[in-house]
Amino acid sequence: MKYTAYENRKQTDVFAAPEVGAGAYAGQVADSISYIEQAQLLDPALWALFVEQFRIGDIDDRDLGWRSEYWGKMMRGACFTYAYTQNETLYKILEDTVRDILTTEDKFGRITSYSVTKEFHGWDIWGRKYVLLGMQYFLEICRDNNLADEVVASMCRQADYLCAKIGNGEVGKQPVTNTSEWWEGLNASSIMEPFVRLYNITGKQQYLDFAKGIIDAGGLRTFNIFEAALEGKVYPYEYPVTKAYEMISNFEGIIEYYRVTGEEKYKTMAVNFARLVMDSDITVIGSAGTTHELFDHSKVRQFNPAFDGIMQETCVTVTWMKFCWQLLCLTGDPVYADQMETSIYNALLGAINVNKHVCKNQVFIFDSYSPLLNNVRGRQVGGRKDIIRDRFWWGCCVAIGAAGTGLTAMTANMQAKDGAVVNFYQPGDYTQAVADGTVSLHTDTEYPVEGNAVITVTTDARDAFAVYLRIPAWSKETSVTVNGEVVSVSAGTYAKLERVWATGDVIEISFDMRTKIIYAAEIDPEANDASLCHLALQRGPVMLARDSQLGETVSESVTVIDNGGYATVESSHTATFPVKQEYKVKTTDSEITVIDYPSAGQNWDPEMPITVWITTN
C-alpha cells in the first residue's frame, strides 16, 4: 500500500481499524459477509456494467440520474469486505475494474456519466464523489504501486477540473450548492469528504481549500447546516432540506476536515449532529425516516400507524453506521458502537434478501426499506435506474449494503493505542500488535442469541497492555471475570482490563438478556392515542417482531405481562422457516410468538405483515 488517507488519524483518533485480515469470525455476520461476497461482489460482469455507464459518457443526461454512484459505492463495500476476507479472487476483480474505469477518463480529466453540456446538474457531482471515494478506498488495499500512481494521477485530474469550475463568488465559477437541482445542492456538497481525503493522500493545499469552500457555502443554498450543528439547538428534521443520507454524508466530510485542521468547532459540529439525530430520528431498529428517506422526527413517528409508506432506507442505515464508526474511531465513545450494533442486528441484517426474492422483476441482494408497524418487506427498490436500457436495473441501497456488512467486521474488534478493543463479540479469532508483541483473542459465544462470551488470550507480549470490553448500554446487569476474579463494570462504558497478560488467561462475560419492554409513551408521552397503544420488545441488541407466518394476527391488541419493565418469555421452536431467535411472550390472556427482527418477513409476502411495534390494550 503506497498511499493512504488515514495517516493523520494516528494523531487524532482514539481507536483504529484492524489490520487487513486481522479477524476471522463465524456466526450470522460472517455468514452474511460471505453471502454478499458470493452473490454480488464476485460478479465481474456487474462491475463491467457499472464502468460502462462512464464509457457511454452521457447516460445520465436523459434523466439527470445517479447511475454514476453505483461503481464507487459498491467499491467501498467491496474493499471493506476484502480487508476482512482476503479473498484473492475478489482482489483480482477489484484491480481489474479499477484498471477498467481508468480507461473511461475523458480529455478533460473527467470520469462522469454526464456530458460537458449537462454537467453540474442533477447528481453529477454526487457521482463524481463516489468515483473518487471508490478509488480512494481501493488505494487502501492496492498492492501494485504503478497502478496506485495511475489512480492518484487520475483523481488529481478529476479534482483539478472541479477546482477550476466550482467556487464561492469567484469569477467564472459557480457555488457547489448550485450544481444540483436536488435538495438545494446538499448532495453535491458531500464531495467535501473525498477532497479532504485526497489532500491527505497528495498534500495539495488546493484540495483542502476546495473543501473549506464547501463548508463556507453551508451545505444548502438557503441554510447553513454546519453552523446549525455547531449551535446544536435545531434538529436536522427541522432544516429546510431533510434528506438524511446526503446530510449524514456531509458530516462525514466535516470529521475528515477536523482531523486535518484540529479545529475543535468541526469536531463539535459532528458530535452535536450525531446527538441531535439520535435524540430525534433514530428508531428502535437503528435507522431513520418514516417518510421514506427523510429525517422527519421518526423517533416519535415510528409507532404512528398513519405512516405506513416505505421507510427506513438501507442507504440511511449504512450511512448512519459509517458516521458512527467515524465518531467511534475519533472519540472512543461507546455510544457510537451501541448505535452501530442496533443498526447491524436489526435494520441491516433484516435488509439482506437471504432468499433471493424478486422485486420489480429482478433479484436484488438488499431490500431498500425496513418496516416497523404492520407492514412487509420488498415493497420498492430505492434509487432504481436502468443500466442496460429497460432490461437490467440497479439501486442505491443494493450498492451500499456491502459497506454495512464489511464495516461490521472492521468494527467487531479494533485497535487502541494501548491495546485491543472488543465491540461486537463475534465468535472467532482476532490478532493485533500490542506493547512489545502480539495478542490473539479467541471468542467463544452464541451472542447475540445468548448473552455469554468466553475470550481466551494468547500473547507473547511481556509488558502490560489493555483489553477494552464494550459493556452495552442495554445490559443493565453485566458480570465480567478475568481468570475467575470479578471485575466491576458499568453499562454504556468500556471496561478497561489492563494487566500483564499471559497465554491461557480467560475473560468471561455475561450480559443481561432479559427482554425489555419499550413503551411508546416512554418515547413520546404526548403522542396521539393511535400511537400510544404500542410497545416493542428488545432482547440484547435485537428487536423482536411478530410475523404473520407464525399463524397469528400481528395487528391484534394484547397485554404483555410487565415484570418491572421486562417481559416473561421462554424459548420456542414452532417456526417452519429459518429464524435465529423465537420466544413465547406471556400476555394476560395467553401468549404471543415473536422472532428476531432480521428473520421476520423474509418471505416477502405482501399479504403477511410483520410488526416491531405491538398493539397493546
**Of 371, 396, 414, which residue constitutes the final position of a domain?**
414
**Are residue 442 and residue 575 in the same domain, yes or no?**
no
Domain residues for the domain of 427 are 418-510
Q: Is residue 151 part of a domain?
A: yes
Neighbours of 114 (CB within 10 A): 26
Q: Tell me the CA distances in angstroms from 43 to 82, 101, 315, 596, one per residue in order.
A: 14, 16, 22, 31
**Are residue 108 and residue 187 in the same domain, yes or no?**
yes
CA 69/CA 92 separation, integer angstroms: 21
What band does 170 get if pLDDT is binned at 50, 70 and 90?
confident
The better pLDDT of the pair 615, 1 is held by 615
* Residue 469: CATH number of its domain: 2.60.40
**Are residue 572 and residue 464 in the same domain, yes or no?**
no
What per-residue confidence (pLDDT) applies to 168? 83
**Are residue 35 and residue 143 in the same domain, yes or no?**
yes
What band does 513 get if pLDDT is binned at 50, 70 and 90?
very high
Q: Is residue 1 part of a domain?
A: no
Q: Strand pairing of 569-571 and 566-567? A: unpaired
**Are residue 303 and residue 361 in the same domain, yes or no?**
yes
**Are residue 26 and residue 112 in the same domain, yes or no?**
yes
Q: Is residue 567 part of a domain?
A: yes
What per-residue confidence (pLDDT) applies to 294? 98
**Are residue 207 and residue 314 in the same domain, yes or no?**
yes
What band does 389 get if pLDDT is binned at 50, 70 and 90?
confident
Encode pLDDT of 305-336 as tens digits. Answer: 999 999 999 999 999 999 999 999 999 999 99
Q: What share of the chain is helix, strand, coil (3-state, %, to 5)?
A: 40, 20, 35
What band does 617 get if pLDDT is binned at 50, 70 and 90?
confident
Q: Is residue 468 part of a domain?
A: yes
Question: What is the CA 144 to chain-centroid distance, rounded?
Answer: 29
CA 17/CA 21 separation, integer angstroms: 11
What per-residue confidence (pLDDT) applies to 192? 98
Q: Is residue 3 part of a domain?
A: no
pLDDT, the chain, mean: 97
Q: Is residue 2 part of a domain?
A: no
Would you say residue 407 has pLDDT above 80? yes
What band does 301 get if pLDDT is binned at 50, 70 and 90?
very high
Q: Sign of the CA dihedral 525, 528, 529, 531?
A: negative
Q: Is residue 4 part of a domain?
A: no
Would you say residue 1 has pLDDT above 90? no
Domains contained in the chain, number? 3
CA 521/CA 526 separation, integer angstroms: 8
**Of 489, 510, 531, which residue constitutes the final position of a domain?**
510
What per-residue confidence (pLDDT) applies to 490? 98
**Are residue 388 and residue 422 in the same domain, yes or no?**
no
Encode pLDDT of 212-256 as tens digits. Answer: 999 999 999 999 999 999 999 999 999 999 999 999 999 999 999
**Are residue 405 and residue 504 in the same domain, yes or no?**
no
**Of 494, 510, 526, which residue constitutes the final position of a domain?**
510
What per-residue confidence (pLDDT) applies to 171? 82
* Residue 385: CATH number of its domain: 1.50.10.10
**Are residue 396 and residue 488 in the same domain, yes or no?**
no
DSSP summary character for residue 137: H
**Are residue 306 and residue 173 in the same domain, yes or no?**
yes
**Are residue 503 and residue 579 in the same domain, yes or no?**
no
Q: Is residue 255 part of a domain?
A: yes
